[in-house]
């Protein structure tokens, strides 16, 4: 059985590709485990500055859970003896990723695939890709990804998508702030490379600690968040990257980051 995920290093960026083009890159347990492994490998290598998540081919980023009745690793069942759903585990792992995680939406991102997009930090999309949650059309609701939809979409927009099951285009998604950029398919990689270049030359330590802080602050009250932010800022100022950043600014040169 071929691996459903391919992992490729491209300079300072690690690519994680859902490689089930014949199944529209549908999500199953092996796909989820492969994405998590890719994130583990990226974080273990201090020279990796960002992670790209995408799908094979040009038709689908990820079409969600496999709807075939006997599909391998279907997300619509749960083991009563171990109720830790693999989709929930994957989304939490994506949340915990301390590297910038960018969705390269090369085609349709539907249902759980749209959830993966919302769990990423940024997204670059083809302008004609369809994004949405179609579960209501088969008598379901996008339960597992609701927390991530709520982070990215307004409540009214989320409800419309969930109860109608109608998708939107990448062009509409960028206008609504759901993705960062939407471009013609032939320009997708150029726009992605442009964005990555603006990320990978910045302080990896600042980004890593900043993502950690954002994850906690999101769940805090304003008072608690401000207290925590002061603590984190003082800690960050003591890192080697911060010292280098201050020195480079004073000396009018480009910083040489050490990720420390």
Using the structure block, give the residue that is written with the tokens 């600014």.
249
* Backbone dihedral region for residue 5 (phi beyond 0: left; psi -120 to 50: alpha; all else: beta): beta
74 close to 140: Cβ distance less than 8 angstroms:
no
Q: Which of 3, 43, 135, 223 is catalytic?
A: 135
**Cβ contact 150:159 at 8 Å:** no
Query: Which residues is 157 bridged to in the sheet?
Result: none
Question: Nearest Cα to 187, choosing from 124, 120, 114?
Answer: 124
Within 10 angstroms of residue 254's Cβ, the number of other Cβ atoms is: 8
**75 and 194 Cβ atoms separated by less than 8 Å:** no
Hey, how many other C-beta atoms are within 10 angstroms of the C-beta on 72?
A: 15
CA distance 87 to 239: 35
To the query of whether residue 244 is one of the catalytic residues in this protein, the response is: no
Q: Which residues pair with 175 in a beta bridge?
A: none
Point out the residues that are catalytic: 135
């Amino acid at each position: 059985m071929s691996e459903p995920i391919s992992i490729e290093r491209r300079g300072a960026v690690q690519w994680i590709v859902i490689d089930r083009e014949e199944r529209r890159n549908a999500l199953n347990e092996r796909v989820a485990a492969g994405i998590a492994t890719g994130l583990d490998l990226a974080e273990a290598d201090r020279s990796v500055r960002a992670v790209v998540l995408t799908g094979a081919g040009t038709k689908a980023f990820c079409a969600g859970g496999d709807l075939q009745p006997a599909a391998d690793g279907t997300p619509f069942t749960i083991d009563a003896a171990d109720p830790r759903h693999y989709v929930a585990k994957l989304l939490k792992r994506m949340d915990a990723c301390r590297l910038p995680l960018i969705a390269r939406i090369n085609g349709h991102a539907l249902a759980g695939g749209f959830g993966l997009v919302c769990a990423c930090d940024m997204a670059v999309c083809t302008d004609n890709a369809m994004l949405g949650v179609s579960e209501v059309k088969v008598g379901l609701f996008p339960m597992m990804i609701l927390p991530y939809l709520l982070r990215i979409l307004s409540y009214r927009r989320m409800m419309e998508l969930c109860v109608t099951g109608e998708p939107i285009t990448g062009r509409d998604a960028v206008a609504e702030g759901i993705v960062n950029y939407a471009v013609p398919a032939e320009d997708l990689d150029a726009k992605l490379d442009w964005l990555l270049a603006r990320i990978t030359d910045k302080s990896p330590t600042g980004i890593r600690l900043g993502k950690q802080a954002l994850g906690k602050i999101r769940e805090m009250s304003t008072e608690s968040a401000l207290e925590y932010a002061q603590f984190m800022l003082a800690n960050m100022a003591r890192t080697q990257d911060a010292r280098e950043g201050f020195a480079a600014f004073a000396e009018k040169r480009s910083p040489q980051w050490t990720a420390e």
